[in-house]
Every structure is written in structure tokens, then in C-alpha cells.
């Protein structure tokens, strides 16, 4: 087993990995940029090493800087978290060349599944259904037009590399394909360094269902069931849950087997996710392979809550050469879990990211509630990184119990100093269609104005929130009476949107 692990990330995922290392008796080392010197993850690690300036390209994305930090502290292994260098095959290879274990799949497996074109071909060879589509060797507009005509409009134009919806374009007619392709190439080149595109048939109202997979170096590959990720905006997930109400036991078995076949065919090791689009529900539903994410997912706590496993611990064990801590037969689902991503953003203003200091932060404390956070009271939220503040994860014996608990937990989760998407999350969870489980990937887009737009009383409640934040921030130096600090105004104020 390792003695010292460098956590090559920031925010809530760095905090999550640091705590897992602590539990396992390993020494966690943090890295930080100039913008993160006082960040929460640096205070929780045994040691923190500066890796560069505030822009991610100068710090968290710098292979040379991160490897230099690992060498400086004599780290045995590097855990990349998600994002940044987590799916960078060159970084994984550089770690191996330096004699440092990369806690993730091999560079070869990462390259294989990192290309959507290669991953699609892999899934087809493994007998897994794929969405009708083509990846023309000739990437010129004429060849793309011919491929689109064979597939039939509307089509989805997608970059082969990367993810997160970057560069994806819906094209409804031949006349719009050339312009869409030009824009997609520019975005793909800028984000991933690869302008290669492919086309696939657009499925009108699909569900997005992904399966967590884990594999070790001894030939064991398992799935840890599914997560429903259909509530998205701009292809970014907002709320995730498990199990999916669309899956019957028979469909779950078929999709889980398909995920394992893909991972096996790729020679995959470690944690990953095989993603599918699902048409319909029940035993007659059709599912199609979408892609493989060669890393731990943001929404991994949903699986941990329902399956009763620790995926980060399993990642570290596998990377150290140990077998998976469980077999497929030992895994099961119990109850229902829901995760809501709390962002510093303003949905009413086009999801404009917010930056500033967190003036007040109180996590809910109630049964069945877990918060994975990257901030605390007094933390500074930078303009340089993703504005995810925390993930609120709840468990209930039934989906309805979990839904109600999630609403209650959000109502008991005040964050002041900058605007967040908490009102949107509450409205989503309370929407009749969400309560009924009638979801698809376009749900938030259709309901956007009702869910994200300004609501009656918003300005008044923001003024109250600001007053409370100022009241709390006075602290001992304001000369309050003895015992004042023990009084939390949130104990006496009803929930409101901020």
C-alpha cells in the first residue's frame, strides 16, 4: 500500500480524496494555485505544495508542475480526481515514467475510450447497441453532408475528443450543417486540441443513464448499478439519482452486462462510467452506448449511498494492486439516493458564474444527508474555476422519501455572500414531473423560464439574506453580549430563496 498520495485537484473532490486517504492511514498531499492558497483542501492535507498561477493552464493542468510537486514530496501515487488531468493519457504515462502510480486506468485504456469514435467501435465489437451514426475519414463538409443524409436529419454533430457538451451541435437540416461543423471544429480544437467530428442520429427525448464500473488488475470487472442523469443544462448534469425509475430489473441486468462488456473489451482498470441514452421505459426500452468517462464522476456519492460502498477507497486499493473489495454478487441497491449540485451561479441571468467571499455557510445536519463541499465560511470563490460549491446527497427508503428529504435539506442549507442555484434546485425537486419521474434530457430546457426565472418576492428575500449575513459577520469584535455567538439566526428564520 502507498504511504503518500498527491491529490492533483482542488475543491470538493480534493477534499473527498484527502479524507479517504486519512481514513486509510495514508498521507495526503494537496496542490494549490495562487488563487487557492487558503482553500479548504489545502488546510485538510498533511502538506500543500504550490503548483503555479491562478489560471488552470498554469497550475492544475500543468503536467510538469504537478509531477514536480509529486517528486518534491516523494509521493507514491497521484489521485487526479475528476476534470483537469484526470483523463489525460499523457499525464498518466508521465506518472508511470516517473515511477509514480496513477490512480486510474492505464494510458492505453484511456486513449482507447477517450476518443468517442474509438469507443463507439469498441462498443460495437463488444455487441453493445450504439446510436446510428458515422465518423467519416474525410472530415470535409461534403463528406459530413453525405453522412448526415445517410443517417437522416436531425443529427447531432459531436467532437470525437472531450466531453461536457463542448462543441456539440444539433443540426436539423442540410443547410445548417457547414456552419455548425465549422463552429464545432473551432470549439473542439480550442478545448481538446482535436477538431475531429462525428455524427449520430438525434434521439428526441432520451434519458441519460450511466453505469458505474470498477475493475482490478486480476481480471475482475463489476458494475455498481446505474445513475439517472437526465436533469441537465447544456449537457451538464444538475441533479442525479439512483436507481432510475425507467429501469426494470431485466433492463438493469442487460445494461449492466453491456457496461461490463465495454470495460472488459477496453482492458479497463479502476473506476469509470459507461454512459447510455435510453428510449422509453421498462423491459421494452431501447438503450444505446454513448461514451466512457475514464475517471471518478462528480455524482459518485449517489452510488455510494445506494450500494453502501466507498468508491475512492476501492480506487486506491485497485491502484495498489489489490483485488476489488467486492464481487458482483455481493453488490446490491438499497433505498434511493438523490444528489443536487450547488453552484455559485445565477440561473435567472443565464447561469452567470458568481465570484466572491462566502459570508455565511451552514450545512444541513439531519439523518440520511451527506454534503461533499469544497468551501466553508470565509472561503473565496474564484473566477478561474468551475463554480461548484458543494454536492448535497440524500438517501431515503423510497424515492419520494429521498425527494422530500432533499427539499428539506436545501431549505436548511443557507449560503450567503454570493448567489447560488439553490432556488432552482428546490423548484426542480418540487416539480410534479420530477416527483412522477417523468424525465428526459430536455426537461430543464423546456421548463427553464418557470424554474430559473425571477420569482415573486426574490428581491425581498435577498435583502433579508444580506441583512442576516451582515448580522452574523459582526462576530465577537462587534461587542455582543456574552453567549451571543451561540445563537444562530438560522434557527429562527424560515427557508427562503437567495
Give whole-number Cα distances, 466 to 355, 419, 456, 461, 492, in Å: 16, 11, 18, 9, 16
Q: Which residues pair with 33 in a beta bridge?
A: 52
User: What region, left, alpha or beta, does residue 183 occupy, with left being phi > 0 and alpha being psi -120 to 50 degrees?
Assistant: alpha
Sheet with 207-215, strands from edge to edge, namely 286-293, 270-279, 207-215, 221-233, 236-242, 336-343, 388-396, 369-373
* Residue 170 φ/ψ, nearest 5 degrees: -90, 125
Which helix (H) or strand (E) covers residue 336, if one does?
strand 336-343
CA atoms within 13 A on the CB side of 303: 27
- E strand segments, 216-263: 221-233, 236-242
State yes or no: is 295 an active-site residue: yes
> Is 342 in contact with 389 (CB distance < 8 Å)?
yes
Q: What is the C-alpha to C-alpha distance for residues 77 and 316, in angstroms, rounded to an integer?
A: 9
Taking only Cα atoms into account, the Rg of the chain, rounded to an integer number of angstroms, comes to 23
Give the residue from 306, 297, 307 showing the smallest Cα distance to 327: 307
User: What one-character-per-residue DSSP string does 418-454 give?
Assistant: S--SHHHHHHHHHSHHHHHT---TTHHHHTHHHHHS-
The residue assigned the cell 456519492 is 301
> Is 44 in contact with 31 (CB distance < 8 Å)?
no
> Is 276 in contact with 293 (CB distance < 8 Å)?
no
Give the residue from 252, 277, 240 showing the smallest Cα distance to 123: 277
Long-range residue pairs from 460-467, CB within 8 A, at least 24 positions apart, any chain: 461/496, 461/497, 461/498, 462/498, 464/493, 464/496, 465/414, 465/416, 465/496, 465/498, 466/416
Of 10, 185, 295, 427, which is the active-site residue?
295
Q: Residues with catalytic annotation? A: 295
Amino acid at each position: 500500500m502507498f504511504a503518500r498520495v498527491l491529490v492533483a485537484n482542488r475543491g470538493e473532490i480534493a477534499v473527498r480524496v484527502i479524507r479517504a486517504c486519512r481514513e486509510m492511514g495514508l498521507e495526503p498531499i494537496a496542490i494549490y494555485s495562487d488563487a487557492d492558497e487558503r482553500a479548504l483542501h489545502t488546510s485538510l492535507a498533511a502538506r500543500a505544495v504550490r503548483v503555479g498561477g491562478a489560471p488552470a493552464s498554469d497550475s492544475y493542468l500543468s503536467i510538469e508542475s504537478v509531477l514536480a510537486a509529486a517528486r518534491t514530496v516523494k509521493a507514491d501515487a497521484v489521485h487526479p480526481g475528476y476534470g483537469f488531468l484526470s483523463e489525460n493519457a499523457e499525464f498518466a504515462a508521465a506518472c508511470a515514467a516517473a515511477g509514480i502510480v496513477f490512480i486510474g486506468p492505464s494510458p492505453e485504456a484511456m486513449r482507447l475510450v477517450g476518443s468517442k469514435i474509438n469507443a463507439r467501435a469498441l462498443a460495437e465489437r463488444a455487441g453493445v447497441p450504439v446510436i446510428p451514426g458515422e465518423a467519416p475519414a474525410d472530415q470535409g463538409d461534403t463528406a459530413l453532408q453525405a453522412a448526415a443524409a445517410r443517417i437522416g436529419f436531425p443529427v447531432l454533430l459531436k467532437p470525437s475528443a472531450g466531453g461536457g457538451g463542448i462543441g456539440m451541435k444539433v443540426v436539423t437540416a442540410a443547410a445548417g450543417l457547414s456552419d455548425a461543423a465549422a463552429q464545432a471544429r473551432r470549439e473542439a480544437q480550442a478545448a481538446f486540441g482535436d477538431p475531429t467530428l462525428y455524427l449520430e442520429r438525434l434521439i428526441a427525448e432520451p434519458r441519460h443513464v450511466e453505469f458505474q464500473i470498477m475493475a482490478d488488475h486480476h481480471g475482475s470487472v463489476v458494475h455498481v448499478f446505474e445513475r439517472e442523469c437526465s436533469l441537465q443544462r447544456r449537457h451538464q448534469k444538475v441533479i442525479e439519482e439512483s436507481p432510475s425509475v425507467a429501469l426494470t430489473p431485466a433492463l438493469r441486468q442487460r445494461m449492466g452486462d453491456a457496461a461490463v462488456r465495454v470495460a472488459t473489451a477496453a482492458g479497463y482498470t479502476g473506476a469509470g462510467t459507461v454512459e447510455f441514452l435510453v428510449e422509453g421505459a421498462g423491459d421494452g426500452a431501447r438503450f444505446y452506448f454513448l461514451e466512457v468517462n475514464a475517471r471518478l464522476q462528480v455524482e459518485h456519492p449517489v452510488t455510494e449511498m445506494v450500494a453502501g460502498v466507498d468508491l475512492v477507497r476501492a480506487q486506491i486499493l485497485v491502484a495498489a494492486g489489490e483485488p476489488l473489495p467486492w464481487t458482483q454478487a455481493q453488490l446490491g441497491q438499497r433505498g434511493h439516493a438523490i444528489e443536487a449540485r450547488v453552484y455559485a451561479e445565477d440561473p435567472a441571468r443565464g447561469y452567470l458564474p458568481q465570484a466572491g467571499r462566502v459570508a455565511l455557510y451552514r450545512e444541513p445536519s439531519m439523518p440520511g444527508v451527506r454534503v461533499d463541499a469544497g468551501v466553508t465560511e470565509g472561503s473565496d470563490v474564484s473566477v478561474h474555476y468551475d463554480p461548484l460549491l458543494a454536492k448535497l446527497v440524500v438517501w431515503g427508503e423510497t424515492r419520494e422519501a429521498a425527494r422530500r428529504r432533499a427539499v428539506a435539506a436545501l431549505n436548511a442549507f443557507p449560503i450567503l455572500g454570493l448567489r447560488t442555484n439553490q432556488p432552482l434546485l428546490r423548484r426542480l425537486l418540487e416539480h410534479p414531473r420530477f416527483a412522477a419521474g417523468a424525465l428526459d434530457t430536455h426537461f430543464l430546457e423546456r421548463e427553464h423560464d418557470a424554474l430559473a426565472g425571477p420569482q415573486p418576492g426574490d428581491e425581498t428575500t435577498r435583502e433579508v439574506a444580506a441583512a442576516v449575513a451582515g448580522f452574523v459577520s459582526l462576530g465577537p469584535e462587534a461587542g455582543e453580549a456574552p453567549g451571543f455567538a451561540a445563537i444562530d439566526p438560522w434557527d429562527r428564520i424560515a427557508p427562503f430563496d437567495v
